[in-house]
Amino acid sequence: IMLHSTLALSLLLIAVSSNLAMAIKKEKRAPQTLSRGWGDEITWVQTYEEGLYQAKKSNKPLMVIHHLEDCQYCQALKKAFAENEEIQEMAQNDFVMLNLMHETTDKNLSPDGQYVPRIMFIDPSLTVRADITGRYSNRLYTYEPQDIPFLIENMKKALRLIQTEL
């Protein structure tokens, strides 16, 4: 009986300590509230102004995602965006990233209206790339989950345009 309870106790301790280790490991990373589900490995800036500053400083394009929590189209796009490895990797390494649940005062970010989801690219020269559009003529900067390959192409285009134009 003694052996049995010792075994049970050590198994319990192992379970507790591995859970504790996982909790500690999770704790070490800064809590990623700014991702709002778009990608926890990505470093997100908090404001549009900070995004512009970082874009200029790092010479990376700024990608601005306008979305709302209770918009089903945003939720669907967010899921596809977060699950796509290529997007996550590019967003992590090659872009300054911002997701916003409110409109900015910069009218250049809503050239054809304030709808969501809407994704705009801003060059390190701080030029809004209104020429990088999605597939829909009525909402130029919106993407649906099935448009992820198209969004990837547009991210690559945003990167290419910097190199050729700056």
134 located within any domain: yes
Give percent of the chain above pLDDT 70: 79
Task: Decide: 104 and 48 in contact? Cβ < 8 Å.
Answer: yes
Mean pLDDT of 28-39: 75
Which two three-digit tokens encode residue 152?
């990837």
Q: Model-level pTM? A: 0.79
Which CATH number does the domain housing residue 104 bear? Answer: 3.40.30.10
118 located within any domain: yes
22 located within any domain: no
Q: For residues 111 and 82, what is the distance between their CA atoms, to the nearest angstrom?
A: 26
With both helix axes pointing from N to C terminus, report the angle between 72-83 and 148-165 in degrees, rounded to the nearest 10: 70
pLDDT of residue 19 exceeding 80: no
Contacts (Cβ under 8 Å, ≥6 apart) of 34 = 44, 45, 46, 99
Mean pLDDT of 93-116: 94
74 located within any domain: yes
30 located within any domain: no
70 located within any domain: yes
79 located within any domain: yes
| Residue scoring higher pLDDT (147 or 5) | 147
41 located within any domain: no
Tally of structural domains, the chain = 1
